[in-house]
Structure 1
Amino acid sequence: MFEVVGSDIERLSDTDLRSLVVRLATSELRKLGLPLSSVTAGGHQDAADGGLDVRVECPAALPRADFVPRQRTGFQVKKPDMAASAIREEMRPKGALRPAIVELAAQQGAYIIVSAQGSVADKPLRERRQAMRDQLSDLATSDDLHTDFYDRDRLAAWVNEYPGIAAWVRACANRPLDGWSSVDRWGGAQAKGPFLTDASTCLVDESRKPGEALQVLDGVERLRSELRRPGRCVRLIGLSGLGKTRLVQALFEKDVGGDPLDPGLAAYTDYSTETRPSARDMARELIGRGEPAILIVDNCNPETHSELAKLCSESGASISPLTVEYDVREDEPEHTDVFRLQAASSDLLEKWLEQTFDYISQVDRRTIAEFSHGNFRVARALAETLKRGETLGQVKSHDLFERIFRQRNLEDKSLLMAAEDLALAYSVNGEDISSEGELAQLAAIRGIEARQLYEAIAELRRRDVAQARGRWRAILPQAIANGLATNALVRIHPDALDNLMRSASPRLCISIARRLGNLHDSREARAAAARWLVPGGALGDLFNLSGDGLQIVTNLAPLAPADVLNRIGAEVDAHPEITAKDSSHRWEWIRLIRALGYDSEHFAAAAALLVRFIAAEPEGNKSNSAREAFAEMFHLHLSGTQAPPKMRRDLVEALLDSSTPAFQTCGLLALKALLKTSYFSSITSFDFGARSRSWGWEPKLNRDVWDWYVQAIRLCAMAAVRFDEARRILSGNVRGLWRYQACHDALEDVAGALLQKRPWIEGWIALRAALRFDGEQMPPEFRERLEALIDRLKPTDLLHRARAGVLSLGADGWDISDGETDDHEGMRPWEKAALMAQEVGRELAHDPAVREEFMAELMVAGDQQRAFECGMGLAEGATDLNETWALLLSDSRRPTSRAAIRRCSGASSGAATISILRSHSASWRTPCTAAVWCKPCLTCRRAWASTM
């Protein structure tokens, strides 16, 4: 039936002809147990070069020679017929014997010319063979070289030894058998791309008692081992869409596991389409030929499988049937090894989605994987709905539903309705059939008994569309359950559904809400949520429903985002204690509001609610804080909102323009987030029912990124007029901003504007840090502009040089030393900075007005980098230490300074004063602190104590 004739070979293209010789040589070596890597293919057949089209170089001698006659054999493949003159030109172009032929002779190899159009009888064949020998007349080792000529008929005879290759040739020649094909022409949604695996167990060998669970690669090897045994019959079962066909295809792939099966022995058919000849007739044909073969029948019904198993077992055949079926009944056919394929892991399914649908966001891939429950066919159906803007939640393909739910069973409307009722809940207690149990509550919708739902679950589990975990039962995949639940909502009266929500246990209410939250495309589901959320509805009082109520509303939120936002606002108005720092479920409220702000039309309302939560937090609060969730909404990446950049900037500007301090604080928090350039992360999840989601608005072009930061810099410049914090925010991000050339003009402009008010020391230090850490990698023009800006910002007057060199004004913890170059040979940057601070101290000693102003700042500053060195400079520059000391004591008598000294006497705030004391005491031996004084310095001690 698969028989190939010479005319089929003649119809092959040049590329197909060379591929055919490669396939044949590979199958020949596999049959002999030799490494397949011995076969290599070269350039185009008609290329005028000295190479061979196909070369075989085995590391060991052939145990049996046939169409590959020698350990080293070269094939020259030509589509045209090769007469004697053509042979001479091929072997001796320009009169010289090809080097490849000389090399084969030296290796005692073989040289074969293959002609697709040549069809020669015995005499012409001898003539062509003789013509080949004539070209070797001047070759000393010609007797060591085996030569031969394969015309199309001899090539067809070789092909007919391998049914899989014969099927491929017939398909290439446009003469396929109806429904039959070779391995590489299999269809199927998942039979493309590399075979993906992970460490999960997804194949069960049910021929062993109890069934042995195998990781997929172990299962591949087990299946290969079984199919290599002549007459062995294997059946692979599993729910439709789990990847059974792709797994079978992997059995023949060299990149999957160890030694693959020979694809040349495989004949494949999908029995869901018309097939001629039948699988049974094909099996008889292959058995009659007596050659090894692997007969693969996909979507094979139980009756056909039984016929094949019986046929092979009774005849002692050399063929090995492999049947594949989506009907997962648990009967075990005779003479059959049964393997059950289980659902793939979510991680593996996500990997496949990324490979197959690269346009889908990572958030949507995770959602699809969850709804698909390891089912590739369901995942494909859901992924394709994104192109039409439909929900991710349910499969709308009736054929796929029939294959997964009904399988080959007769239609059962009672079972279908029971499945719809059960699917209303994400999961249900399937063991309790008492009148108070969840089965009874669901059964009351149609006025049936809980026992009937219990029996339905048992049948659904047999079909593998319901699964058990402890006492809990769930319809799976969720995409199928979502479709069933949608149908249930259409036929159930709204009053019956409302009564169920009022009377059901909190756990069941949460479960039902979670299911309905996936059905935002359902008019009935949206209407139910609207009824339940109004005051007086089943969920009318969110606050008093406590944690359960909040979970229910969170589950329903995808149905009505605007309504839920309004209700939360009303709840916060009525119960402001919800926003309190120690409020229970505070984080759940924040997370829900954050998710509701995804769509641009809900962004402002969600952000305003988060502002109310932030306003209720004490300064420095870290527990369940809304600050980070709020700030993330203004990040360039991972924002979790589709609000466009201008909408976000407008909100920041409105917050900064407010007269309410809490709003201003949030505006500065958002402004800082707008300027963030690296290390983006998120503390919240992004999935939202069955709605399509992503990480939020993302820049599509570099221009989008540049515009984002340039506009943020300008907004920061406007804010700096009113808020000193805006100056610090900009300096804290200037290093990352300078990496964008588009920001250079904006940063130079804002630096000029800030300088008009006062020196921008924080920015100067931050830019010096950028020069030190990033300067070497910068393009020369970037570095030149940066150095010019640094020089422009450099503080020149004594007061600001003192602030820059002594106080900690650097951005992100950097200080003045970070702008210095470390040549690893001279003075370290921090040593240079210490000397600069000491020099500032010397100058302060001679400028009483500046010294008084600066020392007042120094005494109350929370952190100083080089106060001690400054004090040393003061002592060194003072013409009279006693006078300088007296002036410092006079400054310290101010109430603010006295409080600062009490707070950290002898530590950081008193460092400059202590350094003077050390210089004042010639015999100083121990550190001067508030508790320990140098003994000779009693006068200083009394003077200091009098200020306390």
Structure 2
Amino acid sequence: MFTVHPNEIKDFTGDELVELLRRLLYAEARKAGVPLRGVHVPLQITVADGGQDARIIWTGGEASTDYFPGRDIVFQCKAKDTGNVQWEQEVWTKPTQKKTVPVKILNPAVRDVMARGGSYIGITAKALVGNKPADRVKAIKKGITTAGGNPANLASVDVYEGNKLAAWASAHPGVAVWIKQRHAAIDLAGFSTLDHWGKRADTAAPPFVDSPDRKFSLGPYEADAIEFSQLAARLVAELDEPGASARIWGASGIGKTRALHHALSTSTGLLDGLASANFIFCDFGQVRDRLWDVANQILKERSAAVLVVDGCPLDKARELNALARTADSQLRVITLGAEGLDHDDHCVMIRPTKADRATIRGILRNKLTKAKSDELDYIADLCDGFPRIAVLATESHEKNAILKSVNDVAQQILDAAGAERDTVRALECLSLFDSLSPDENPAAFDELAETLVHMKGELMYENLVIAARKHLVERSHGTMIAQPRPIADFLALRRLDYLRPSTLIGFLGSAQPQHRNAMLARWRFLARSRTLSEVIHMLLRGSFADANIIHPDVAPYLPAFVHVEPDRTGAALFWAIVRVPLADVGAIAVTDELVDALRLLASRQDSFRPAAQIVLRLAAVAPTEGTQPIMRLLRQLFQVTLAGTQADDRRRREALEEALEEDDPRIRRVGVEALGAMIQTHISRSEEFEQIGAEDYRPEWAPDDHGTINAYFDWALQRLLDLWRKDIELRPGLLKKAG
């Protein structure tokens, strides 16, 4: 499919021939081994007047290639070949080409390249046979001699006619595809150039909205990120070496394909030339049967092509990457798909972050020109940084007016995606979970489908696959996640309205631990559900009542309960821990989930005091040395800032004052720990401040000024001094805290 025939270029116009030459020069330059990111190895390709259509000069790399006889070459294009006289005259300046001008003058390009000892090559689209190419070379040399020059000063003189141009183009698949698509209306067997790739319906419309602030992550840390403007250059740099590969991965609908296309298509200069000459684009779903033949053909011909495969599964991407790393390979690979890793030893992993609000609003504004600002905000929130969902939202507006109800807009987006009833029900079920892996335990998956949406497991799976194609489900490493989250929340809340509390209680009690935990992880986003509130109320009055609330088997439920019913859950924990003798508290299993629940309760101003009392009692029976989670939480809650709570300095002092008045020495001892945290100046914490459920946002408290900080320190130091005077047994610990 990459074999170019002379008759495919014989009718090229002058402009088309120059464009063909431009692509060939970039492709051959890559093959010449020129380090494209090395400014110390300059590569210059220009289009200008003065006797040349293109020129290439380079240093480093190969001294010559099959089609570059040396490092300094001037090219002259003639779309039509009219004979020897035409080529003889081409080396002269325009005014002296007239028959009436007796003295001929060499044009600047020929004069200069001759002075440098470079090469001169004529280019024509017409196929010449027999001795005609050699005759044209003789005519060029004659013209140089007639104008007083010496063709022997040139390293070489040649004419690349239609036959040689076709062979040259056949050596570069990216150029071959461009030639074959030049007048084609469709992709060539699924393979296309950058221009044709951009004409696909899902790429061409709506207009791309620039995202200058959007980030692309190259690793697990924030520092491992590049800006959108750096994407094309970074890819080209990473693919400089033969056999290199890159993968752009992320959730369906996040904008991987359009971001890559726009980054490449808007590149200029060197990057534009490389994308035009070396890149071959395809969609895995369309070419899966031919992909390996094409890749092997590129490999066999040692072409420096970059094969870009959209919608490529991770396992197939790894096979392609391994093929590219074969000995003597010049192939490079870029794959795009949902699955990926933060790091791979053999492949550069690039993950687009969610689009910022300005980008999403820009997509919406393109079509929703009459929408008000608050209406756009409603829709932008639901899109959750997914450009494709924003496009669906604009499509829904073609049939429906914008409504100010978030639920109405969510339903419109689902309608625009063409989600049928069974697909929506499957999405409702998936939305109840943080994620599901249908093949991890097929029987359990089938059972939850039957219980929660009354569907056969196979039917639910089939509909989730359909939803994934509509960008409403992310599929990665065998897991499925409903997306974007605001629409998943809408669907989950609706499904919860349809379920009896007893059904949910029964499911939670019998579900596999991974399914139970995946459901509980979603409750923080579904706190408005009356069904969930009723579930918690029933469990706290029943199997989780009284001391059962602190049983290890109940621990996984606690953070989810706090998100939905913080006051009710906090009261249950208070009575189970604070209202029992301290000796019995030592028998309580302080699980990570219990600590998380207390951290959430303490983050609220209204529940800080009882939560702090619980933390103090649990810490009182824990070893003070070491890094027990409950001790870390205690110290955090009383440090002057970054305490992770809305409670101000006064409320925290009051909570601790009560503990310091206790008769039990163990409580006073842990009070000293809290006072020690209060006077610390090196402050940090590992967790972010987390808001509970659907409560209105209230910021974490921070001191207003140095006066507040100093007063906090002074109070703590005074209490430490008081304890020194009153309790001799505490003095060793006090000395340690004081310094």
Query: Structure 2-normalised TM-score?
Result: 0.50
Structure 1 equivalent of residue 422 of structure 2? 414
Is 1:241 aligned to residue 237 of structure 2? no
- Counterpart residue number, 1:556: 561
The equivalent residue for 1:37 is: 39
Distance 1:597 1:500 in 2: 28
Q: Distance in 2 between matches of 1:625 and 1:192?
A: 37
What count of residue pairs does the alignment treat as equivalent?
518
Structure 1 residue 547: Cα displacement: 2.8
Q: Equivalent residue for 2:449?
A: 442
Q: 1:186–1:40: structure 2 CA closer, same or farther, 3 Å change rule?
A: farther
Cα separation, 2, equivalents of 1:193 and 1:574? 51
Question: Within the alignment, does 1:567 sit opposite 2:572 as a pair?
Answer: yes
Distance change in 2, residues 1:324/1:652 (3 Å): same
Asked if residue 652 in structure 1 is aligned to residue 656 in structure 2, the reply is yes
Q: Please tell me the residue identity of whatever aligns with 1:599.
A: R
Find the counterpart in structure 2 of residue 196 from structure 1. 218
> Could you tell me which of 603, 607, 613 is aligned with 1:602?
607
Q: Distance between the aligned counterparts of 1:433 and 1:198, measured in 2?
A: 29
TM superposition shift of 1:342: 4.1
Cα distance in 2 for partners of 1:729, 1:687 equals: 33
- Contact 2:425 / 2:453 at 8 angstroms: preserved in 1? no
Provide the residue aligned with 1:66 in structure 2. 74
- Counterpart of 2:432 in structure 1 is 424
Alignment of 1:523-602 (within 5 A): 524-525=528-529, 527-534=531-538, 540-541=544-545, 543-544=547-548, 546-572=551-577, 580-585=585-590, 588-602=593-607
Spell out the pairing of 1:33-432 with structure 2 (5 A cutoff): 34-35=34-35, 36-38=38-40, 58=59, 63-66=71-74, 189=211, 196-197=218-219, 221=239, 239-241=252-254, 243-244=256-257, 262-265=270-273, 292=277, 294=279, 325=310, 339-345=335-341, 376-378=352-354, 396=384, 400-401=388-389, 411-427=419-435, 430=438
- 1:738-817 to structure 2, matched below 5 A, reads 811=739
* Matched residue SS, 1:475: strand
Question: Could you say what secondary structure the match of 1:600 adopts?
Answer: coil
Shift of 1:551: 0.8
User: Aligned with 1:486: secondary structure?
Assistant: helix
Q: Give the residue type in structure 2 aligned to 1:241.
A: I
1:265 shift after superposition = 1.5
Query: Could you tell me which residue of structure 2 aligns to residue 800 of structure 1?
Result: none
Residue 453 (structure 1) aligned to one of 457, 460, 468: 460
CA 1:620/1:646 → structure 2, altered by over 3 Å: closer, same or farther? Answer: closer
Q: Pairwise mapping of residues 658-807 of structure 1 onto structure 2 (< 5 A)?
A: 658=662, 661-678=665-682, 708-717=712-721, 720=724, 722-723=726-727, 732=736
Provide the rounded CA distance (Å) in 1 between the counterparts of 2:492 and 2:626.
46
Question: Alpha-carbon deviation of 1:674?
Answer: 0.8
DSSP 3-state at the match of 1:65: strand
Aligned CA distance change for structure 1 residues 586 and 30 (closer, same or farther; 3 Å): closer
Paired residue for 2:409?
none
| Unaligned stretches of 5+ residues in structure 1 | 6-24, 42-55, 69-103, 111-143, 145-160, 165-175, 200-215, 228-233, 255-259, 269-291, 353-372, 735-810, 812-948
CA contact (8 A) 1:236 1:338 kept: no
CA–CA separation in structure 2 for the residues paired with 1:217 and 1:395: 28
Instruction: Rate the CA distance shift 1:346–1:647 in 2: closer, same or farther, 3 A.
Output: farther
User: What do the CA deviations read for 1:233-270 (whole angstroms, capped 9, x no partner)?
Assistant: x999983327456667898999xxxxx994131568xx
- TM-score normalised by structure 1 residue count: 0.41
Contact 1:433 1:450 in 2 (8 A): no
Q: How far, CA to CA, are the matches of 1:697 and 1:383 in structure 2? A: 32
* Distance apart, 1:606 and its partner CA: 0.9
Counterpart Cα distance in 1 of 2:622 and 2:243: 68
In structure 2, relative to structure 1, the CA distance for the partners of 1:517 and 1:482 (3 Å cut) is: farther
Distance verdict in 2 for CA 1:480–1:501, change over 3 Å? farther
Distance 1:30 1:448, change over 3 A: closer
Cα distance per residue 1:717-743 (max 9 Å; x no partner):
555554567876675456xxxxxxxxx
SS in 1 for 2:606: helix
Partners of 1:383 and 1:252 lie apart in 2 by: 19
User: Aligned partners of 2:34 and 2:704: how far apart in 1?
Assistant: 53
Kindly indicate whether the alpha-carbon contact (under 8 Å) linking 1:486 and 1:519 is maintained by their aligned counterparts in 2. Answer: no
In structure 1, C-alpha distance between the alignment counterparts of 2:220 and 2:466, rounded to whole Å: 31
Letter in structure 2 aligned against 1:440: E
Cα distance in 2, alignment partners of residues 188 and 437 from structure 1: 45
Task: Confirm or deny: 8 A CA contact 1:672 1:729 kept in the other structure.
Answer: no
Which letter does structure 1 place at the counterpart of 2:218?
Answer: L
Q: 1:475 to 1:444 in 2, by over 3 A?
A: same
* Distance (whole Å) between structure 1 residues aligned to residue 467 and residue 284 of structure 2: 22
Q: Give the RMSD, CA atoms, in angstroms.
A: 7.0
- 8 A contact 2:501–2:535 mirrored in 1: no
Do 2:265 and 2:272's aligned partners in 1 also have CA atoms closer than 8 Å? Answer: no
Shift of 1:495: 4.9
- Which string of whole-angstrom CA distances, capped at 9 and with x for unpartnered residues, describes residues 10-41 of structure 1? xxxxxxxxxxxxxxx99997697545414789
Tell me, in whole angstroms, the C-alpha distance in 2 between the residues paired with 1:675 and 1:381: 41
Alpha-carbon separation, structure 2, partners of 1:108 and 1:554: 77
CA deviation vs aligned residue, 1:173-209 (integer Å, no higher than 9, x gap): xxx99x899xxx986658956772579xxxxxxxxxx
Q: Decide whether the 8 Å contact of 1:532 with 1:538 is kept in 2.
A: no
Q: CA deviation at 1:699?
A: 6.2
Partners of 2:238 and 2:71 lie apart in 1 by: 28
Residue 66 of structure 1 aligns to a residue whose secondary structure is: strand
Amino acid at match of 1:417: R
Question: Whole-Å Cα distance in 1 between the matches of residues 75 and 385 of structure 2?
Answer: 50
> In structure 2, do the counterparts of structure 1 residues 426 and 28 end up closer, same or farther at CA, with 3 Å as the change threshold?
closer
Q: Judging changes above 3 Å, is the alpha-carbon distance between structure 1 residues 573 and 523 closer, same or farther for their aligned structure 2 residues? A: closer
User: In 2, are the aligned partners of 1:633 and 1:641 still within 8 Å (CA)?
Assistant: yes
Report whether the alignment pairs 1:489 with 2:493: yes
Query: Whole-Å Cα distance in 2 between the matches of residues 698 and 433 of structure 1?
Result: 47
- Displacement of 1:594 in angstroms is 2.7
2:432 is matched by which residue type in structure 1?
A: L
Bigger relative contact order, structure 1 or 2, given CA contacts below 8 A and separation 6+? 2
Bigger Rg, structure 1 or 2: 1
Q: CA 1:441/1:521 → structure 2, altered by over 3 Å: closer, same or farther?
A: closer
Aligned 8 A contact 2:435 2:480 in 1: yes
Q: Deviations over 1:573-600 (max 9, x none)?
A: 6776895323345564344213321233
Which ranges of structure 2 fall in alignment gaps of 5 or more residues?
1-12, 16-24, 44-56, 64-69, 77-111, 119-152, 154-174, 179-194, 222-233, 318-331, 362-373, 393-412
The alpha-carbon deviation at position 533 of structure 1 amounts to 3.1
Alpha carbons of structure 1 residues 505 and 461: separation in structure 2 relative to 1, 3 Å:
farther
Matches of 2:435 and 2:574, distance apart in 1: 31
Cα gap change, 1:587 to 1:421, in 2 (>3 Å)? closer
Cα distance change of structure 1 residues 525 and 467 upon mapping to structure 2, 3 Å threshold: same
Cα distance in 2 for partners of 1:238, 1:619 equals: 45
Q: CA deviation at 1:627?
A: 4.0
- Compute the displacement of 1:714 (Å): 4.7
